[in-house]
């Protein structure tokens, strides 16, 4: 990434690994009690050590509970037994409304951008089809998708897990990331640090994944705080 | 050497796998059970596209319900978006003729297979691959997005029916050109050049080449026939990364291309590109393992390549990569490569 005026909105594979490390660390600092983003290393050839450094970010068991009026993301639920007590309490009140979500952030070598893969489950572990998942999205999600045409939802094989996962197609990401960063004047290292929080703020709006605003604070002139309204 | 061989491309498009399709026993409701049906599956085609030929044979025996069609080979559900030829090369190291597959019309395994409602889903998947290839080659998908309805229709029909002539007519409008021998640039091929055009290269090229690797871990035994059937897709690693030629001079061979994607499989003392052993014909015999894997290396190699197959062919390692790409790519402009890998015996 030469300078902001030459940057095309993409990020290299190596920079993605660096950005992932920074992001998961920052997330932990800002949300010490929440589920953490974890880096999952995956060798290029399973069962070998070939292609070290390759992997993806994972955040699992994020709890979505439908309240009567609005979609509320309960951040209490983790796979950790200690904290699952909160979920159990919620469950007693309204078992049917609880869905769990797993989010993975992978790097795409064709489009040179990150991609969000996600899966939803019922309380009993049954996976949710895409149509049902869409019902959990925030109300403005479908209008974002229609308006900007920068991405679409699809179900494809997870490149590492080789099973169907839902994803937001990456073909438009480069263009809107370029736009997002266009008014910032960041050094390369700063841009790499801010890439994932900025990217996830936008992508999160579609799937109802909320980033705490604090994740952008302390970062000099974050493209997101410059550009977008806090939701 | 001719980098584009019409003969080779024709050979690839005519390639087909003889399939013997059995209806799964749980779906047979009549006695005697229906006989399996013999179908020819184009290498460049996809299994769901064969359903119109298969279904009539089993219609009268199916239990009541809605059709959700899927195939399996020895119990493993087959991923429908992978071209038939690639599935065969990957799952049958020792070719099985005819290839015995089981068809199901009920009980779609949604945990393992992405949804597929038939031709539309396959077409959509194909067009998306083509867009991705265009993006890799040109840095944007414009030429595909801007295709006219008529062109899109003709393109898809040519893939559906395996008609190379029709495909070749539409391809120039995709503005993807052919790869030059140096593997760094692409140009409009001779037959596609507009008369009087002096500059025959395409603008905005990235120098990247679309490649999909399917890597299967197999037992470290000498005889291919002894390799057990695949029991899970988790044993297959999928690498979707473009190849780029960063070499300064020297011929960019298939070996150099594979080495750039999987350096650890070639060891630190792989032969230099100067080792000339060109092949001008397709090498259809059992493949020669790369010399590097059999050499003594200073550091232990964790795995070695047993076999590499593209369009059912085992190309010589020194084949110019541009030849492989231009003649053995799939209609979606991706080169699909099957690689069988074994953990090496002992240490060096």
Q: Which of A30-39, A110-119, B337-346 has the highest mean pLDDT?
A: A110-119
- What is the nearest CA distance from A130 to chain B, expressed in angstroms? 10
pLDDT band at A219 (very low <50, low <70, confident <90, very high): low
pLDDT confidence of residue B152: 95
How high does pLDDT run on average in chain A? 79
Mean pLDDT across B11-36: 94
pLDDT confidence of residue B106: 93
| CA closest to B334 among chain A residues | A110
CATH entry, B208-266+300-343, from 3.40.1080.10, 3.10.20.90, 3.90.930.60, 3.40.50.720: 3.10.20.90
* Chain B residues in contact with A133 (beta carbon < 8 A): none
Residue A171 catalytic? Answer: yes
* Chain A residues in contact with B80 (beta carbon < 8 A): none
| Proportion of chain A above pLDDT 70, given as a percent | 74
Q: Cβ separation of B240 and A46 shorter than 8 Å?
A: no
pLDDT band at B191 (very low <50, low <70, confident <90, very high): low
The DSSP 8-state label assigned to residue B87 in this structure reads H
The two tokens of residue B33 are 């059970």
Q: Cβ separation of B265 and A50 shorter than 8 Å?
A: yes
For A105-155, the pLDDT digits (tens) are 999 999 999 999 999 998 888 889 888 898 888 888 877 777 766 678 899
Does B59 touch chain A if contact means CB atoms closer than 8 Å?
Answer: no
Query: What topology does CATH give the domain B120-174?
Result: Serum Albumin; Chain A, Domain 1 (1.10.246)
How high does pLDDT run on average in chain B? 85
Query: What ipTM is given for this predicted complex?
Result: 0.85
Q: What is the pTM of this model?
A: 0.86
pLDDT confidence of residue B311: 96
pLDDT confidence of residue A227: 53
| CA closest to B215 among chain A residues | A45
Element (H, E) at B57: helix B51-58
Rounded Cα distance, B16 and B80, in Å: 16
Q: Cβ separation of B217 and A44 shorter than 8 Å?
A: no
Q: Cβ separation of B241 and A109 shorter than 8 Å?
A: yes
Q: Cβ separation of A164 and B111 shorter than 8 Å?
A: yes
Count CB pairs under 8 A between chains A and B.
Answer: 70
* Chain B residues in contact with A110 (beta carbon < 8 A): 132, 135-136, 210, 240, 242
| CA closest to A49 among chain B residues | B302
pLDDT band at B289 (very low <50, low <70, confident <90, very high): very low
CATH 3.10.20.90 region(s) of chain B?
Answer: 208-266+300-343
Mean pLDDT across B205-223: 89
pLDDT confidence of residue B93: 86
Rounded Cα distance, B141 and B302, in Å: 39
For B110-132, the pLDDT digits (tens) are 999 999 999 999 999 999 999 99
Does A46 touch chain B if contact means CB atoms closer than 8 Å?
Answer: yes
Q: What CA dihedral angle connects B116, B122, B126 and B128, to 10 degrees?
A: -40
Q: How many Cα atoms are found within 13 Å in the side-chain-facing hemisphere of A117?
A: 19
The two tokens of residue B48 are 């769901």
CATH entry, B6-113, from 3.40.50.300, 2.40.160.20, 3.20.20.60, 3.10.20.620: 3.10.20.620
More confident residue, A2 or B247: B247
For A43-95, the pLDDT digits (tens) are 888 767 677 778 999 999 888 876 543 334 444 444 444 444 445 444 444 55
């Amino acid at each position: 990434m030469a300078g902001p005026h030459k940057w095309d909105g993409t990020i290299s594979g190596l920079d993605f690994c660096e950005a992932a490390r920074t992001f998961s660390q920052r997330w932990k600092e800002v949300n010490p009690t929440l589920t953490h983003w974890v880096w999952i290393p995956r060798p290029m050839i399973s069962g070998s050590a070939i292609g070290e450094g390759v992997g993806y970010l994972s955040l699992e068991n994020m709890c979505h509970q439908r309240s009567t009026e609005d979609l509320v993301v309960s951040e209490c639920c983790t796979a950790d037994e200690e904290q699952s007590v909160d979920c159990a309490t919620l469950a007693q009140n309204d078992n049917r409304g609880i869905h769990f979500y797993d989010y993975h952030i992978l790097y795409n070598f064709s489009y040179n951008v990150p991609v969000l893969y996600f899966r939803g489950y019922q309380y009993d572990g049954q996976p949710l089809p895409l149509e049902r998942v869409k019902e959990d999205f925030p109300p403005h999600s479908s209008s974002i998708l229609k308006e900007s045409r920068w991405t679409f939802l699809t179900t494809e094989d997870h490149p590492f897990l080789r099973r169907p996962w839902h994803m937001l197609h990456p073909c438009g990401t480069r263009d809107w990331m370029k736009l997002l960063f266009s008014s910032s004047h960041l050094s390369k290292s700063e841009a790499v640090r801010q890439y994932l929080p900025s990217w996830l703020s936008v992508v999160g709006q579609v799937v109802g994944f909320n980033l705490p605003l604090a994740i952008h604070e302390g970062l000099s002139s974050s493209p997101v705080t410059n550009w977008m309204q806090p939701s | 050497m001719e980098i584009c061989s019409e003969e080779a491309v024709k050979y690839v498009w005519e390639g087909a796998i003889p399939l013997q399709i059995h209806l799964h026993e749980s779906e047979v409701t009549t006695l005697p059970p229906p006989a399996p049906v013999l179908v020819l599956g184009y290498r460049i085609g996809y299994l769901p596209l064969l359903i119109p030929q298969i279904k009539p044979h089993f219609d009268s025996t199916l239990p009541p319900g809605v059709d959700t069609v899927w195939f399996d080979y020895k119990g493993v559900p087959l991923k429908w978006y992978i071209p038939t030829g690639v599935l065969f090369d990957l799952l049958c190291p020792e070719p099985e003729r005819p290839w015995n597959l089981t068809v199901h019309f009920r009980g779609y395994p949604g945990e393992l297979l992405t949804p597929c409602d038939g031709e539309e889903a396959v077409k959509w998947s194909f067009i998306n691959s083509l867009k991705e290839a265009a993006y890799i080659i040109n840095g944007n998908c414009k030429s595909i997005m801007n295709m006219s309805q008529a062109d899109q229709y003709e393109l898809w029909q040519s893939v559906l029916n395996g008609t190379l002539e029709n495909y070749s007519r539409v391809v120039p409008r995709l503005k993807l050109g052919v790869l030059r021998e140096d593997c760094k640039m692409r140009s409009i091929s001779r037959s596609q050049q507009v008369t009087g055009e002096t500059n025959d290269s395409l603008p905005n090229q990235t120098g990247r080449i679309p490649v999909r690797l399917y890597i299967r871990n197999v037992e470290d035994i000498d005889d291919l026939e002894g390799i057990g059937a695949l029991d899970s897709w988790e044993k297959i690693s999928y690498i979707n990364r473009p190849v780029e030629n960063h070499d300064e001079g020297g011929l960019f061979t298939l070996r150099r291309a594979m080495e750039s994607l999987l350096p650890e499989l070639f060891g630190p003392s792989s032969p230099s590109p100067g080792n000339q052993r060109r092949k001008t014909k397709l090498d259809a015999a059992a493949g020669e393992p790369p010399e590097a894997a059999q050499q003594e290396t200073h550091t232990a190699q964790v795995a070695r390549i047993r076999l590499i197959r593209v369009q059912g062919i085992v190309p010589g390692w020194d084949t110019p990569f541009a030849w492989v790409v231009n003649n053995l790519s799939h209609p979606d402009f991706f080169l699909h490569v099957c690689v069988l890998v074994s953990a090496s015996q002992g240490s060096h």
